[in-house]
Structure 1
């Protein structure tokens, strides 16, 4: 059952001294992504972020994309949080949602932020959305199957209480670990500059396809109706933590490139 952890952690640890190889989170997860990204943004980027975000931290604004879901005025952004597609497809070959998806949403956010004619209010709004969406991109079940809505229709139990597979990965497994977002960020795996650079390679579409590969393993990790808890967390929490770290590192890359 530890194969999924080994899969992702191996990618991270490939870059040791002797070798060189050519995952919507809940509030805690998103804030950890923001805090990790802050560790990897340049001083120039930090100055731009302070100006646009009015000195609010990446961790604080990282949950913005979910908070606005309560307001019907922002209903149009609902499909931006995920990409649902067949496991036989990559993003490039998949049928696209005409309402938009994670990839098109991220692209739109970047375009507004770079637009010299965009208002300050729009730049702030879409920067907050961008920060949130890059986090979502790395939650495996945000790149899940359309037929079960990214695991939302796969009913399981978490510590004897009814839930679904998507929610387990969004928040329940991380919340049960009982670490604050700042503790998660502080205790992320140590990575060399070479390792960080490696994880930042590729495009948003490449990252989506990477996450989809992980999603396939997540789907295979449970049976419908299974009661999950300590043993499941023992086998898979390292993967969730690694995905948070990768998301933060890549978010920093996106922001550094923008600014």
Structure 2
């Protein structure tokens, strides 16, 4: 386990309270992914992305795809946030949603961004979307079972309060870092060039299948009604950190491939 993370564990164990600021994967987590990715962009890619985002950072726009969920005109994009798969299935063998899924969403974004005929407006929209979607891909419960809506129907308690398994992974574990997104990004972005190259191998589908193995472990570790607290955080804190790390490193790979 990373030395910095070891030093953090006693800290979060003794600072847990109901009053602390909640850091959402949908906010701070996505910002971590965006910040790490930005650290690994080529100069050419960063220049081209800056033109589209008008100088806004990847971290700043990383939550856009969640922010538009309340607008009905974007309802058709909701299926882009997840993939439903059986526990022992690969993506290739799984039943596909005819309306699309996370893989389809990422593929669509890549095609639009690579197409020289795409309007600037379309490119900006799909750039913001893919920055978010690569983050979603690395959250294990976004590659969950259809029958329980990716853990949303698995009711558990978190430090005595009712919630669900999806929420534990979306919001609860990450708040135990008790760090800003910049601190989290600095803590997670500690890799050699060889490690980065290794993480960036494979395709989007390969990454989905990889994350799905973690999903299987998560489902196997919890049943509906379980009371989760410090031990569960301890068991999966490093996993969450690693997934944020992978999301950022792989987002950089995808964006560098598109923008140079």
Q: TM-score, normalised by structure 1?
A: 0.89
Deviations 1:10-30 (A, max 9, x none): xxxxxxxxxxxxxx9321110
- 5+ residue gaps, structure 2, are 3-23
CA distance in structure 1 between the aligned counterparts of 2:157 and 2:44, rounded to whole angstroms: 46
1:169 aligns with 2:169: yes
Name 1:147's counterpart in structure 2: 147
- After superposing the two structures, state which structure 1 stretch, 120-129 or 24-33, moved more: 24-33
What SS does the corresponding residue of 1:177 show, helix, strand or coil? coil
CA distance in structure 2 between the aligned counterparts of 1:216 and 1:25, rounded to whole angstroms: 20
Question: Per-residue deviation at 1:191?
Answer: 1.3
What SS does the corresponding residue of 2:246 show, helix, strand or coil? helix
Name 2:216's counterpart in structure 1: 216
Mapping 1:8-23, distance limit 5 Å: none
Say if 2:36 and 2:189, in contact at 8 Å, map to a contact too: no
Name 1:258's counterpart in structure 2: 258
Instruction: State the Cα RMSD in Å.
Output: 1.4
CA distance in structure 1 between the aligned counterparts of 2:33 and 2:189, rounded to whole angstroms: 13
Question: Per-residue deviation at 1:189?
Answer: 5.3
Question: Per-residue deviation at 1:66?
Answer: 0.6
Name 2:130's counterpart in structure 1: 130
Name 1:101's counterpart in structure 2: 101
Name 2:62's counterpart in structure 1: 62
- 5+ residue gaps, structure 1, are 7-23
CA distance in structure 1 between the aligned counterparts of 2:147 and 2:191, rounded to whole angstroms: 37
Relative to structure 1, the CA distance from residue 148 to residue 229 in structure 2 (aligned partners, 3 Å threshold; closer, same or farther) is same
What SS does the corresponding residue of 2:162 show, helix, strand or coil? strand
Deviations 1:132-165 (A, max 9, x none): 0000000001111111111110000111111000
Say if 1:106 and 1:133, in contact at 8 Å, map to a contact too: yes
Say if 1:144 and 1:215, in contact at 8 Å, map to a contact too: yes
Name 2:120's counterpart in structure 1: 120
Question: Per-residue deviation at 1:223?
Answer: 2.5
What SS does the corresponding residue of 1:187 show, helix, strand or coil? helix
1:52 aligns with 2:52: yes
What SS does the corresponding residue of 2:188 show, helix, strand or coil? coil
Name 2:180's counterpart in structure 1: 180
CA distance in structure 1 between the aligned counterparts of 2:120 and 2:189, rounded to whole angstroms: 36
What SS does the corresponding residue of 1:163 show, helix, strand or coil? strand
Mapping 1:82-93, distance limit 5 Å: 82-93=82-93
Q: TM-score, normalised by structure 2?
A: 0.89
Say if 2:38 and 2:58, in contact at 8 Å, map to a contact too: yes
CA distance in structure 2 between the aligned counterparts of 1:189 and 1:62, rounded to whole angstroms: 17
Say if 2:155 and 2:165, in contact at 8 Å, map to a contact too: yes
